[in-house]
Structure 1
Amino acid sequence: MTHIWVRAEQRANETRVGLTPDGAATLLKAGFKVTVEASDTRAIATQGYVDAGCTIASEHSWPDAPHDAVIFGLKELPEDGTALPHCHIMFGHAYKGQSAGRTLLQRFKAGGGTLLDLEYLTNDTGRRVAAFGYWAGFAGAAVTLKCWAAQQRGAVAGPVAPYASAQALKLALAEELREAGAPPKTALIIGALGRVGTGAADLCRAMGVTVTGWDMAETKSGGPFPEILDHDLFFNCILAGPTTPAFVRPDAPTAARRLRVIGDIACDPDSDFNPVQVYDRATTWAAPALRVHDDPPLDVMAIDNLPSMLPRESSEDFAGQLLPTLLDLGQDRSGTWSRAKSLFDDHVKRV
């Protein structure tokens, strides 16, 4: 019997979950054991999992779970240095040279555990089986527009918070842009054909922003890309790798430009492959904009858990995408889990 243990997230402003009560009921019917940690902050109430028949465990009790339990969460674990003996399904952010990622891999190596990284669960064509991308793009575009509106007031954007729904977010943002005078005129999106870019484009168009969409064909030259500087907003919506060119170079802040806000929705500032080379750290819900130049202003928005602005919608969407792959966890007929395990094995042996 495969035992999935859904942990309560331990990061501030993170209320998403990767398994809904309906999904848990499906797993139970298929012969899985499902344990869900209690949580007062999760977007989906614990009672729903009780009603589905799950075993309920104390919040943050996963370190004491049976060693054969697969610990399922979304964002990072507490950085306490403890060894990790379990198999974890999560977003590890550990395979692209990130400093915290090396530490995480060392913890798995010390404990003998395994990371099955959600970012690298792919089908046999290399496409991810589940992603929060659309809602990351949607929410990221909204926060980027908030940063632009704050600039019109001569300010830097203040704290952001979750919304009950996408419609509530759009209504609030439209009012904020009206108070700013008018929305920005143009935005350039790289990665426009993907989930993230589609979400960003949908939000921009809903707010009256004209979108220019680029993808691999428009960036294959390797740059530079002066067109980026000729738009009010720029969105980076791609998963960068070793061959990804620099989209925004270090000299961009001092160049002649119309560009005022960069929405780095991919948000990998400490990666070796970061294509937005004007900042070095993620921004936060409390301080969503990092000002990298004053006159004229240039802000970077780079929050790394954007879908949590719409926690219920994004959780239900992601969980629905992932459920067929979770159901295959014990048998792995598609090879998705074995590919993720092989990738982990390759990286962990380097630390």
Structure 2
Amino acid sequence: MGAGPRLWLRHETRATERRAPLVPEDAARLVREGVAITVEESPQRAFPLAEYVRAGCATAPAGSWVDAPEDHYVLGLKELPAEPYALRHRHIFFGHAYKGQAGAAELLRRFEAGGGVLLDLEYLTDDHGRRLAAFGYWAGYMGAVLAVLHRRGALETPLRPLERTEWDALLRAGGDTADDGSALVVGALGRSGRGACDALETAGISPVRWDVAETRDLDREALRGHDLLVNTVLVTTPVPPFLTGADLDAPDRRLSVVADVTCDVDSECNVLPVYDTVTDWEHPVRRLRDGDRPLDMIAVDNLPSLLPVEAGRAFSAELWPQLLRLGDGDGAWFRCLLTFARAAGASAVADRTKEDAHVR
């Protein structure tokens, strides 16, 4: 058994983030393959620290990754804390830093300042560009769950994590008497779309399913004619929007609930530019139009954390074989590195341009 990469699983600072990218069962598999793993304490992680210890992992206090040896890969899911500013490690997480999102340039500058690297999980793909580890199914499922429950007036807030059997029971409750109207899932053939469709079917709703063919030449009137919309389309280059302010104000709009699973709100690739901020567990619904034809938006950006055990296990099962290949020098992780290098270079050029303009 040879020595493998050294991983440091960090605590997530977002209070509502209960998932883990690597669960104890898969940590044990990696340890058996020679991977050294340190797991930080976390008061909210759905997987107890004791299970990681039994898997052969070392432990460390929450937030201590900042002092980890530089040969460790720091593994997480969501955003990093604001300090330290300079990031010197190789970080693996969803950085949301390559499409002009809010804070993206600043994050890349932090890596430049510390000499670190971002290996963004969103860009961990195979030779055909398909993501190798994704939460998509569970994001789509939960987006549809929240949309259905809200439309029925049965969504309890603040949101709290449950198991899938419990969410399914909530979907089935009242389904025989509810006036659910018609539902449309855009991106129905992808991971997220399949999850959304499964949730709707569980609720007793047969959704209309659109994918590439239907969005290539979008029938805006048909889209507005549904009662509930779940958007699961994530694009990497700007495309014409699916909904605009004019659509929301159109006299033929039946649409009353929109769940945006992708939450690409602050990117130029946002296909739903009718809202400007995500929602959260305390206030998952935002009203976009009032009056006799209200329209509500749901845009929670960590939906899979509402069923963290199932989502975490599914994601970890896809990720752990890839973690064995860290440091191989080619393949998926090398593509992640090239993507980071291109983005960091573009960020540096943009910064220098701004400085030059200021000097002039």
TM class, shorter-length: over 0.9
- Structure 2 residue 272 is matched with structure 1 residue 273: no
SS in 2 for 1:210: coil
Q: CA deviation at 1:286?
A: 0.5
Shift of 1:183: 4.4
Cα contact 1:269–1:281 (8 A) shared by 2: yes
Cα offset, 1:157, TM superposition: 6.9
**Distance in 1 between residues matched to 2:67 and 2:345, nearest whole Å:** 26
TM superposition shift of 1:243: 4.3
> Could you tell me which of 128, 133, 145 is aligned with 2:136?
133
Decide whether the 8 Å contact of 2:171 with 2:202 is kept in 1: no
Deviation at 1:30, TM superposition (A): 1.4
RMSD, matched Cα: 1.6
SS of the residue corresponding to residue 233 of structure 2 reads coil
TM-score by length of 2: 0.91
8 Å CA contact 2:6, 2:73 repeated in 1? yes
Preserved CA contact (<8 Å) 2:238 2:270: no
Task: Summarize the Cα distance change of 1:66–1:345 in structure 2 as closer, same or farther, 3 Å threshold.
Answer: same
**Which string of whole-angstrom CA distances, capped at 9 and with x for unpartnered residues, describes residues 185-221 of structure 1?**
2111111000000000000011011201111111112
Cα deviation, 1:73-130, whole Å, max 9, x if unaligned, reads 0011113461101000000011111021111111111111000000000011111001
Structure 2 unaligned residues grouped into runs of 5+: 348-360
**CA-CA distance at 1:68 after TM superposition:** 1.2
8 Å Cα contact 1:244-1:275 kept in structure 2: yes
Counterpart Cα distance in 2 of 1:100 and 1:80: 14
Answering whether residue 301 of structure 2 is matched by residue 304 of structure 1, we say yes
Q: Which amino acid aligns with 1:213?
A: R
8 Å CA contact 2:238–2:268 kept in 1: the answer is no
* 2:248 equivalent to 1:253: yes
Distance 1:235 1:167, change over 3 A: same
Shift of 1:332: 4.9
* Alignment-derived partner of residue 102 in structure 1: 105
Give the corresponding residue for 1:234. 229
Equivalents in 2 of 1:293, 1:46: separation in Å?
45
**Contact 2:228-2:258 within 8 A present in 1 as well:** yes
Task: Show the counterpart of 1:34.
Answer: 37
Q: In the alignment, which residue of structure 1 is the partner of 2:355?
A: none
More moved, 299-308 vs 136-145: 136-145
Assess if the C-alpha contact under 8 Å between 2:172 and 2:204 holds in 1: no
Deviation of the 1:52 alpha carbon = 0.8
Matches within 5 A, 1:1-351: 1=3, 2-80=5-83, 82-150=85-153, 158-163=157-162, 165-175=163-173, 181-221=177-217, 223=218, 225-255=220-250, 256-295=252-291, 296-332=293-329, 335-351=331-347
Tell me the CA shift for residue 145 of structure 1. 1.4
Count of aligned pairs: 342
Percent same amino acid among aligned pairs? 44
Q: What secondary structure, in the 3-state scheme, does the structure 1 residue paired with 2:316 have?
A: helix
**Amino acid of the residue matched to residue 37 of structure 1?**
E
Give the secondary-structure state (helix, strand or coil) at the position aligned to 2:312.
helix
> SS at the partner of 2:207?
strand
Contiguous gaps of at least 5 residues in structure 1: none
**Pairwise CA distance, 1:330:** 2.6
* Aligned-pair CA distance for 1:147: 2.2
User: What's the secondary structure of 1:248's corresponding residue?
Assistant: coil
TM-score by length of 1: 0.94
Q: Report the alpha carbon displacement of residue 176 of structure 1 after superposing the two structures with TM.
A: 6.2
Residue pair 1:189, 1:235 contacting (<8 A) in 2 also: yes
Question: How far apart are 1:23 and its partner, in Å?
Answer: 1.2
